[in-house]
Amino acid sequence: MALPPRATFPLSLHLLLLLLSLLLATSTQQEQFSEELLLKPLPDRKILAHFHFQNEAPLHADSFARHHHLFPKSISQLVQKFHIKAMELSFTQGRWNYERWGGFDPISSHNAKPPGVELWAVFDVPLHQVDASWKNLTHSLSGLFCTSINFLESSTTYSAPEWAFQSALGSLRYGTLPREAVCTENLTPWLKLLPCRDKAGLSSLMDRPSIYRSFYHSQRLHLSMSSAASDGSRSGIILEQTLTVVLQPNDQNADMNHVSKAKIQPSWSLSSIFGRKISGRCVLAKLSNVYLHADRGLVAQLENLHENSAQFATNDTGPVDFRMNSGFKLSVTPERVHKELGKGSSLLYEYPINDYKDTEQFDLGLSWEHPIVWSSPHAPFYASRFLMGSGNERGAIAISLKSTEMTQGLLTNNIEERCKLQVNVLQVVPWYVKVYYHTLQLLVDERPQVLTDFVERIRVSPSEDKVSPGMMELVLQFPCEMKSAVLSIEFDKGFLHIDEYPPDANQGFDIPSAIISFPDFNAGLQFYDQSESKSPLLSKLQEKSPVLSYTEVLLVPLTTPDFSMPYNVITITCTVFALYFGSLLNVLRRRVGEEERLLKNKDASKAVFLRRVLTKLSAKLRGRPLESTPSPSSSSSSFVSPKLILRVLLVAGIAIAWQYYSQ
């Protein structure tokens, strides 16, 4: 029996299909998406949860005209239209507690943002087009994230710092909205930029009630350009989306009566703090990991506990660093433990969730075995800001710097040269706060000092009424042995037009947070096995960047008019005018005696026929023609007069008598 002929395809068709598949695979591989979650116990019985999503896309000539596979097209269109080199947008509710949660780590330095909205962008356009690009960008972002970012389009709300950010000179714009409220309307558009949104992967943990009842939450969007290793040209776009939340877990040890359990940290799990478990990774993610970070202070206390405890031998599973931990127990054994370089280093437990599915969900839990008290690493100085003075006419702004316990250990050991510490300060004030920059004073260790001895550089941009805010940038050099320093500057409070006051003017006006940076210190962490992992989150943790902190937002009361007085005046005036013009129109529309005549006409309607007969009879007796009936508008006295009535009665009597005698 002969076999049926086999179907044959031309060789060119096979080659074409193979080429298309290779091109599709190549284009898909060029776009990469990763999702990671970092959990960290805090000293004050709270938990830090840091979500990190990174999306990369190649930068080609036609990359903005086609549909991306993973990268959000709306972001790529912003980059192309406004020629953005770098951009960062953050929405924050609450203030990062630098004293309790630390300030010398990458999370607090990169992701601790001021309350409200903060936006800065660097443009690759000529200098005369930067302001126009900034205004268009604010309107686009306002519509994209459902916020009031468009308020930053006014020149009175943004500035152009040069030293606070590492960027191109003159092409950066910076603006903040301290009073902007953050809610789910801002989080939902942020989640729509993710390939799996909040339906799968680590983003499924983002339960709205859990996030918005937290002590601090900040969602951030950072956009940058990646450069090629060969020539340094731009090769792609990197979009980082982070969500930093500080949560308070339920105290599961509150019912224990043991005295030693009084100060124990609360045990927690993912399901207890978020109300959900991880059912698997996002299928479009190339990397999906969960990390548990134990900072240096906690590791030091665990090592002391390990030396004084004999229970560490019972925990004999997992890596060596994990077996040596006797302070707490983990519900899931980590696959890898990253250890930081140096003495007193931190530990990072890694959990890949690629193998977890709906049937076997990932729920990392931590239960404390012993009460441990530690402190997180701090920045060289605590930075705070406050107002001085009283009344609604003038005052002063003071920035206080206090040294921390970590300062001496982080400073250089060079004895030959005098140790100095550089501190950069950026302060932006609204135009209605009239700052007198010549009143700048400096107190070091509670003693007045000459500014030229400590100020290395200063850049001042005075405010202009209703045009631009005031800005001051300082580069200070302090001795390492300094304990405290206070910068103060005086100001007068301006007057606003009644249309320029916000609806809640009696609450006060906000002065944005000041930015304090320490260029001599890096917040990065260095791990031993940095070459083995290609995690974007680990790369960000190891990135060397200056330590950065934000001060408080100041609330300045200004002279506010009584907004109820214009309301009362308008109400009374409208009432008087209504009564006056109403009465006047009523009088003008009606005639004098019209109502009385109408009533008389109704009563005399029955005698109209008799009056007409008498009028005709009187006219015949007189031999005069019949007069026309007077119009209603004529006076009634001319028609019914006493003489006429007497004549009518006389004629009627004569007629009756003549008739009687004639018969």
Residue 191 and residue 208 in contact, taking contact as beta carbons nearer than 8 Å: no
pLDDT tens-digit map of 567-586: 888 889 899 889 888 888 87
Question: What pLDDT shows up at residue 503?
Answer: 82
Residue 78 corresponds to which tokens in the numbers above? 């912003």
Q: Using pLDDT thresholds of 50, 70 and 90, give the confidence band for residue 14.
A: very low
Flag whether pLDDT at 589 surpasses 80.
no
Q: Using pLDDT thresholds of 50, 70 and 90, give the confidence band for residue 243.
A: very high
Question: What pLDDT shows up at residue 341?
Answer: 81
What burial letters (b/e) apply to 410-419, b meaning 16+ CB within 10 Å? bbeeeeeeee
Flag whether pLDDT at 414 surpasses 60.
no
Residues 395 and 295 in one domain: no
CA atoms within 13 A on the CB side of 131: 9
Flag whether pLDDT at 256 surpasses 50.
no
Question: What pLDDT shows up at residue 517?
Answer: 93
332 within a domain of the structure (yes/no): yes
What burial letters (b/e) apply to 594-611, b meaning 16+ CB within 10 Å? eeeeeeeeeeeeeeeeee
Question: What pLDDT shows up at residue 108?
Answer: 92
Residue 313 corresponds to which tokens in the numbers above? 């031998």
Q: Which of 273-287, 400-414, 524-538, 626-640 has the lowest mean pLDDT?
A: 626-640
Q: Using pLDDT thresholds of 50, 70 and 90, give the confidence band for residue 259.
A: very low
Question: What pLDDT shows up at residue 546?
Answer: 87
In percent, the amount of the chain with pLDDT more than 90 equals 46
SS3 category, 112 = coil
545 within a domain of the structure (yes/no): no
In percent, the amount of the chain with pLDDT more than 70 equals 78
417 against 510, higher pLDDT: 510
618 within a domain of the structure (yes/no): no
Domain that holds residue 330: 36-368
Question: What pLDDT shows up at residue 50?
Answer: 97
Domain count, the chain: 2
CATH code: domain of residue 436: 2.60.40
Neighbours of 544 (CB within 10 A): 9
Residues 298 and 418 in one domain: no
Taking the C-alpha atoms of residue 638 and residue 628, their distance in angstroms, rounded to an integer, is: 13
Going by the DSSP 8-state scheme, the letter that residue 129 receives in this structure is G
SS3 category, 52 = strand
pLDDT tens-digit map of 34-67: 999 999 999 999 999 999 999 998 876 555 556 7
Question: What pLDDT shows up at residue 647?
Answer: 76
Taking the C-alpha atoms of residue 620 and residue 627, their distance in angstroms, rounded to an integer, is: 11
Question: What pLDDT shows up at residue 62?
Answer: 58
10 within a domain of the structure (yes/no): no
Q: Radius of gyration over alpha carbons of the chain, in Å? A: 42
Q: Using pLDDT thresholds of 50, 70 and 90, give the confidence band for residue 11.
A: very low
263 against 659, higher pLDDT: 659
Q: Residue 33's closest CA among 52, 47, 49, 14?
A: 52
Residues 445 and 330 in one domain: no
Sheet holding 216-227, edge to edge: 158-159, 172-177, 116-123, 84-93, 216-227, 234-247, 47-58, 32-41, 287-294, 347-352, 336-339
Question: What pLDDT shows up at residue 309?
Answer: 61
pLDDT tens-digit map of 154-176: 999 999 998 877 666 678 999 99
Mean pLDDT of 362-384: 90
Q: Residue 172's closest CA among 134, 225, 121?
A: 121
170 within a domain of the structure (yes/no): yes
pLDDT tens-digit map of 286-300: 999 999 999 988 988
Residues 444 and 488 in one domain: yes
529 within a domain of the structure (yes/no): no
Residues 412 and 496 in one domain: yes
Flag whether pLDDT at 605 surpasses 60.
yes
pLDDT tens-digit map of 517-568: 999 888 888 887 654 567 899 999 988 888 999 999 999 998 888 888 878 8
Residues 364 and 387 in one domain: no
In terms of phi and psi (left: phi > 0; alpha: psi -120 to 50; beta: otherwise), the region of 169 is: beta
Residues 326 and 431 in one domain: no
Q: Using pLDDT thresholds of 50, 70 and 90, give the confidence band for residue 227.
A: confident
Q: Which of 18-22, 387-391, 482-486, 567-571 has the lowest mean pLDDT?
A: 18-22
Residue 511 corresponds to which tokens in the numbers above? 């002065």
297 within a domain of the structure (yes/no): yes
Q: What are phi and psi of 375, to 5 degrees?
A: -135, 145
Q: Residue 645's closest CA among 619, 620, 611, 616?
A: 611
Question: What pLDDT shows up at residue 583?
Answer: 83
Measured CA distances, 152 to 91, 140, 427, 465 (Å): 14, 12, 17, 17
pLDDT tens-digit map of 314-329: 444 455 555 456 688 9
- One DSSP character per residue, 481-532 reads T--EEEEEEEEEE----GGGS-TTGGG-EEEPPPEEEEEEEE----BTTTTT
Question: What pLDDT shows up at residue 389?
Answer: 87
Query: Would the CA dihedral through 133, 136, 142, 144 be positive or negative?
Result: negative
Tell me which of 308, 342, 368 is where a domain ends.
Answer: 368
Residues 309 and 415 in one domain: no
Flag whether pLDDT at 27 surpasses 70.
no
Mean pLDDT of 448-473: 93
SS3 category, 581 = helix
Residues 153 and 286 in one domain: yes
Taking the C-alpha atoms of residue 433 and residue 381, their distance in angstroms, rounded to an integer, is: 27
Residue 376 and residue 295 in contact, taking contact as beta carbons nearer than 8 Å: yes
Flag whether pLDDT at 408 surpasses 80.
no
Residues 320 and 403 in one domain: no
Question: What pLDDT shows up at residue 602?
Answer: 66
Residues 204 and 343 in one domain: yes
Flag whether pLDDT at 633 surpasses 60.
no
Instruction: Return the C-alpha torsion angle 413, 417, 419, 425, nearest 10.
Output: -140
Question: What pLDDT shows up at residue 388?
Answer: 92
Question: What pLDDT shows up at residue 431?
Answer: 94
Residues 460 and 364 in one domain: no
Q: Using pLDDT thresholds of 50, 70 and 90, give the confidence band for residue 371.
A: confident
Residue 207 and residue 275 in contact, taking contact as beta carbons nearer than 8 Å: yes
Q: Using pLDDT thresholds of 50, 70 and 90, give the confidence band for residue 20.
A: very low
421 against 257, higher pLDDT: 421
281 within a domain of the structure (yes/no): yes
